[in-house]
């Protein structure tokens, strides 16, 4: 059926790609700068926050990273915590792709691009979080294979560079291809995107696995040195990803005229019901192993959950996370959650916040406390780190908002080449 429609696609419609593609790009730019007052207000707020973040980062590069609260003892902080979480969010987008392409779910197929665009925005945020964590961002070119020195395959960070950029390119290609063809009014040819969709499913798993391997391969950090880390990363990603997508879908429902099928949301809720339980199960398994075994290997877990030697900066964070996680589980498991949008939104916010703490500060910081020589030096981010982080979040939300702002009219057929060429027909 697809083949036929491609074969018979009217060629007179648009002329060559050489003229159509620039036209498509221009149309996207125009769409990106148009909207109602709410859109403008939202974009102005995000721009302002992003600029504050950019300024904070500029100060950090100029004066050195000593302006943060990181130390030689806790040498990664809020940035890498957010990076880790964002990789999960990017991977989580795949939870729409699997039902849409593997199980041919109709509702999901219509809006799968929402998940793919989330992957793009999240990966760009990941890269930004890595860049702001570099002491010498000006030497970024050292990481480029060919002209720099790329310690592949031994350094897991080089793997991460490959998988993150690869995932970004895959999703840019899929989204770009689909949008362009929708704009042209042509049926997308499966050969040019279906294989990439399948690769992207495996790739989504790989980005979070490789990111977990960054940490879990370090023998000197017992808190991370557990085989359960990668599976935990994945399950938590499949909680936070769908949670964020549900929030985005609800926002689209309320703030725009586009239809979002209940079926898609129901599938995402069902996914979350399972993943959030598996995530809790793995957490229990991890906690059991740590505390039943005991010994100095447990020091970081003790510090995280109960405080150690009078230091307990992370204790409120992690218990908040556990409380949020449990509440979200209870709400999600109630059979009628899909019928009450407010309840669902609350559950998604709770789950999202819980994973943000658990996979962010709750994972990165205790890896460093106590230090490898068992020194107790605590860490809480300072205002500069919060500003830079907020700036990157604002940038990511801006990208995501714009992407949806562009994608929805094209996907719904509201904007197309034909309509652009013949506005009064």
Partner 1 sequence: MKSTTVTSFAALVLGMGISGIGIWVYWQSFATFDEPIAMDIKQADMGAEPYGVSIHGTPTTPTVYTDILTPNGTLAEVACVTCHTTREGRLENRGTEDLELFHQGLQVQHGGLSCLSCHNSENFDTLRLADGSPIPFPQTMQLCAQCHGPQYRDYQHGSHGGMMGYWDLNRGPRQRNSCTVCHDAHSPAYPRLTPVFPPHVAVSGNSPHH
Partner 2 sequence: MNKENQESGSISRRTLIKGTGAMLGAAAFAKAMAPLTEWASHQSMDEFLQQHYRELDEEEMQKVLRRLEEETRRDYGVEVTITDHKPEKGVKFGYALNLSICVGCRKCAQACHRENNHDRASGNSYIQVLEMKKGSLDLENGTVNYSGPVPKKDAFYMPVQCQQCDAPPCVDVCPVEATWKEPDGIVAVDYNWCIGCRYCEAACPYHARRFNWAKPQIPAEDINPAQSYLSNRLRPQGVMEKCTYCLHRTREGRLPACLEACPTGARVFGNVLDPKSEIRWVLENKRVFVLKEELGTKPSFFYFFDE
Residues 13, 127, 194, 218: which binds partner 2 (CB under 8 A)? 218
Task: Match 């979070």 to its residue by tokens.
Answer: 208
Q: Which does 296 bind (CB under 5 to 8 A by kind): partner 2, partner 1, none?
A: partner 2
Q: Torsion angle of alpha carbons 168, 256, 112, 200, nearest 10°?
A: 10
Report which DSSP code applies to 365.
Answer: G
Q: Contact region for partner 2 (CB under 8 A) — 155-163, 185-193, 254-262, 310-318? A: 155-163
Q: Can you tell me the distance from the alpha carbon of 232 to that of 353, in angstroms, rounded to the nearest whole number?
A: 16
| Stretch touching partner 1 by CB under 8 A, among 47-55, 84-92, 179-187, 194-202 | 194-202
Q: Binding to partner 1 by residue 66, rule CB under 8 A?
A: yes
Residue corresponding to tokens 């239809």: 259
Q: Is 169 an interacting residue with respect to partner 1 (CB under 8 A)?
A: no
Dist. CA 113–CA 258, nearest whole Å? 14
Binding status of residue 220 toward partner 1 by CB under 8 A: no
Among 43, 50, 56, 74, binds partner 1 (CB under 8 A): 74
73 to each of 69, 83, 135, 242, 313, how far by Cα in Å? 11, 19, 16, 35, 15
User: Quick check: 320 and 357 in contact, CB under 8 A?
Assistant: yes
Distance separating alpha carbons of residues 413 and 410, to the nearest angstrom:
5
37 binds partner 2 (CB under 8 A): no
Calpha distance 389→84 (Å, rounded): 13
* 15 lines the binding site for partner 2 (CB under 8 A): no
Phi then psi for residue 308, to 5 deg, are: -140, 130
Judged by CB under 8 A, the stretch of 97-105, 182-190, 244-252, 366-374 that binds partner 2 is: 366-374
Cβ of residue 40: shortest distance to partner 2, in angstroms?
A: 9
- 73 near partner 2 (CB under 8 A): yes
Q: What is the DSSP letter of 141?
A: G
131 binds, among partner 2, partner 1, none (CB under 5 to 8 A by kind): none
Residue 59 vs 228, nearer CB to partner 1:
59
At 308 the three-state DSSP class reads: strand
**Distance separating alpha carbons of residues 163 and 231, to the nearest angstrom:** 17
Q: Min. distance of Cβ 152 from partner 1 in angstroms?
A: 9
Q: Which of 9, 13, 157, 313 binds partner 2 (CB under 8 A)?
A: 157
Residue 63: Cβ within 10 Å count: 10
Where in 287-326 is the site for partner 2 (CB under 8 A)?
Answer: 296, 299
Q: What is the footprint of partner 1 within residues 260-299 (CB under 8 A)?
A: none
The torsion region of residue 188 among left (phi > 0), alpha (psi -120 to 50) and beta comes to: beta
**Coil, helix or strand at residue 72:** coil
Alpha-carbon distances, residue 349 vs 242, 255, 343, 406 (angstroms): 11, 18, 10, 25
Pairwise CA distance, residues 241 & 303, whole Å: 29
Pick the stretch among 3-11, 95-103, 105-113, 123-131 that binds partner 1 (CB under 8 A). 95-103
Stretch that binds partner 1, among 164-172, 230-238, 240-248, 377-385 (CB under 8 A): 377-385
Nearest distance in Å: CB 398, partner 2: 11
Q: Give the contact letters, 112-131, x = binds to partner 2 (CB under 8 A), - = no.
A: ------------------x-
Count of positions on this chain that bind partner 1 (CB under 8 A): 24
CA nearest to 242, candidates 92, 342, 103: 92
Residue 101 touches which member of partner 1, partner 2, none, C-beta under 5-8 Å by kind = partner 1
- The tokens describing 189, both together, are 């040819």
Q: Which residues lie near partner 2 (CB under 8 A)? A: 33-34, 47, 51-52, 54-55, 57-59, 61-66, 70-73, 75-76, 130, 133-140, 142-143, 148-151, 154-158, 161, 214-215, 218-221, 296, 299, 367-368, 370-375
Contact set with partner 1 (CB under 8 A): 63-64, 66-69, 71-74, 101-104, 153-154, 198-199, 202, 313, 377-380
């Amino acid at each position: 059926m697809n083949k036929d429609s491609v074969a018979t696609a009217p060629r007179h419609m648009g002329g060559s790609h050489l003229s159509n593609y620039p036209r498509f790009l221009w149309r996207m730019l125009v769409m990106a700068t148009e909207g109602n007052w709410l859109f403008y207000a939202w974009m102005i707020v995000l721009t302002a926050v992003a600029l504050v973040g950019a300024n904070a980062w500029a100060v950090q590069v100029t004066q050195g990273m000593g302006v943060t609260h990181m130390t030689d003892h806790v040498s990664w902080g809020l940035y890498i915590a957010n990076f880790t979480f964002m990789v999960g969010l990017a991977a989580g987008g795949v939870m729409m792709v699997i039902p849409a392409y593997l199980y041919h779910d109709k509702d999901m197929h219509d809006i799968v691009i929402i998940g793919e665009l989330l992957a793009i925005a999240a990966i760009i945020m990941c890269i930004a979080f890595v860049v702001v964590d570099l002491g010498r961002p000006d030497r970024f070119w050292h990481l480029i294979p060919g002209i720099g020195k790329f310690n592949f395959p031994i350094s897991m960070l080089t793997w991460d560079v490959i998988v993150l950029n690869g995932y970004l390119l895959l999703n840019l290609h899929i989204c770009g291809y689909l949008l362009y063809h929708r704009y042209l009014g042509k049926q997308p040819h499966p050969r040019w995107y279906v294989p990439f969709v399948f690769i992207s499913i495996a790739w989504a798993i790989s980005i979070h696995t490789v990111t977990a391997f960054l940490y879990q391969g370090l023998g000197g950090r017992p808190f991370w040195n557990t085989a359960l880390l990668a599976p935990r990363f994945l399950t938590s990603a499949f909680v936070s990803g769908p949670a964020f997508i549900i929030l985005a879908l609800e926002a689209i429902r309320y703030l725009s005229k586009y239809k979002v099928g209940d079926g898609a949301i129901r599938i995402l809720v069902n996914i979350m019901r399972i993943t959030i339980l598996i995530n809790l199960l793995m957490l229990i398994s991890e906690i059991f192993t740590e505390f039943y075994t005991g010994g100095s290997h447990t020091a970081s877990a003790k510090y995280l959950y109960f405080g150690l030697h009078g230091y307990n900066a992370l204790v409120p964070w992690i218990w908040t996370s556990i409380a949020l996680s449990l509440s979200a589980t209870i709400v999600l498991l109630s059979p009628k959650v899909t019928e009450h949008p407010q309840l669902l939104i609350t559950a998604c916010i709770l789950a999202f916040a819980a994973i943000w703490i658990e996979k962010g500060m709750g994972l990165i910081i205790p890896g460093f406390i106590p230090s490898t020589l068992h020194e107790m030096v605590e860490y809480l981010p300072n205002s500069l780190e919060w500003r830079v982080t907020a700036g990157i979040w604002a940038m990511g939300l801006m990208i995501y908002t714009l992407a949806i702002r562009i994608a929805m009219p094209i996907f719904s057929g509201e904007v197309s080449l034909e309509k652009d060429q013949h506005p009064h027909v």
